[in-house]
A and B are shown apart, each in its own frame.
Chain A
Amino acid sequence: MDGSIFTLQEFYTFTKGVTYIIMVLALLGVTAFWLFLAGGRDQD
């Protein structure tokens, strides 16, 4: 098993799998980013 991609099915299984992982990380990331952005100094 060398991990090569031979069929379109294998291609999409791999790429969609990676994309789903990125999306979960992105959703967590945007939450953290929003909290970071909304934090900081209060006074104008």
Chain B
Amino acid sequence: MSEETTANGRSLFTPFNIIAGIIVIVGLVLTVLRFTMGLGAVTNLSNYNPWGIWIGFDLLVGVALAAGGFVTSGAVYVFGLKKYHSAVRPAILTGFLGYALVVLALHYDVGRPWALTFPFLIQQGTTSLLFEVAACVALYLTVLLIEFSPAALEWLGISKVRKIVVRLTLVLTIFGIVLSTLHQSSLGALFLIAPSKLHPLWYSSYMPIYFFVTAIVAGLSMVIFESTLSHRYFHDKMDKTHLAENPHVTLGFGKAASLVLFGYFIIKVIGISAANHWHLLVTGWGAWYLVELLGFVALPCFMYAIGVREKKLKLIRFTALWTVIGIILNRLNVSLIAFNYHLPSSERYFPSWMEIATSIFIVTLGVLIFRFVVTRMPVFYEHPDYQDAH
């Protein structure tokens, strides 16, 4: 057998693998650069802009898009919607990888990995939201690891431990929902301390609620988006149950996302009303705000509604992608674009190519690990030894 082929004869040098390989190599070089020569060698961060895309995209967007785990497991195990059961493991895996890569990305920004233990071992900043976020993310990552472990244990054939872990499902799900509510909202609450820096259209005392609600939308949309991609590229790994339940998952999650987006639109309008910021909507920043609110909240809300009403799965899947882009836009608006909005252009932040490349590297790692796991472990199918056992 050629060294360049896999066990089933397929070539390793596919276009995807080549591109992913280049991204990983560049990412590793940048990693060495960052940790040996510091932030200044790799980023455009400054005292005016201490948080860049490693926080704005990797952390804020990453945590929001990883919310599918608690949403899906909550729907199935707390609300008893068993028809979405096949979506749980992929959602938990996506959530686990999302949070793990968020922590990895945080290492790049903090720079001294041992410093991440300080909030727990050295000094607990109990008046700090970031302390609560750190504690919740650490605990939730552990919850996700335990929630996903049955799939790995089935793959490894360790049935005794698997039996114990499966019994913890409901407790872990509840714990996960509590932790997610805490940290998703707290990430929004971080910006409450900077009313003079964040543009008043985005700044609101309701930001914690906005971030939590959009996290739910992000989770629902990411489950649909991930299942669309998985059906395209891992169709052969899926069993009949998974294939049969997928349209119901798409329709059900699309319906939920539509309703939540509607509610989110209303509370955003109420936020403007409560602060009396109507006059800001006719400014340049107001136009950009309306692009986000109308183009990426109201529009996907109706697109989801039409897709659900007319049972148009393709429309729902496209809307899921559109909504994910909208969530990314919202987080970037709050953390980077509308942040420090009053500074002159010379002081405004734009990421360096090395920051962007590092973020792409981290996302690529997530995709590669996802592919590794789903092609080996029972994520899209039930293990024959554990049929209907969970």
Number of A-B contacts (CB under 8 A): 48
Using A37-B308, A43-B311 as known contacts, list a sample of 11 further A-B pairs with CB atoms less than 8 Å apart, ordered by residue number in A. A14-B276, A15-B276, A16-B274, A22-B270, A26-B269, A36-B309, A37-B258, A37-B309, A40-B310, A41-B309, A44-B311
Interface-lining segment among B130-138, B207-215, B259-267: B259-267
Which residue in A5, A23, A29, A36 is a CB contact (below 8 Å) of B270?
A23
Does B305 reach chain A (CB closer than 8 Å)?
Answer: yes
The SS class assigned to the B binding surface is helix
Bound CA span A30–B310, Å? 19
Residues of B within 8 A of A (CB): 247, 255, 258-259, 262-263, 266, 269-270, 273-276, 305, 308-311
Is there an interface contact between B273 and A33, defined as CB atoms closer than 8 Å? Answer: no
Q: Measured between C-beta atoms, what is the minimum distance from A6 to chain B in Å?
A: 14
Q: Measured between C-beta atoms, what is the minimum distance from B271 to chain A in Å?
A: 10
Is there an interface contact between A41 and B311, defined as CB atoms closer than 8 Å? Answer: yes
Q: Across the two chains, which residue of chain B brings its CB closest to A17?
A: B273
- Contact A41 to B310, CB < 8 A, known contacts A34-B259, A36-B305: yes
Is there an interface contact between B311 and A40, defined as CB atoms closer than 8 Å? Answer: yes
- Contact A15 to B273, CB < 8 A, known contacts A30-B263, A33-B305: yes
Q: Measured between C-beta atoms, what is the minimum distance from A33 to chain B in Å?
A: 6
Chain A residue total in the interface (Cβ 8 A): 21
- Contact A40 to B308, CB < 8 A, known contacts A22-B266, A26-B266, A30-B263: yes
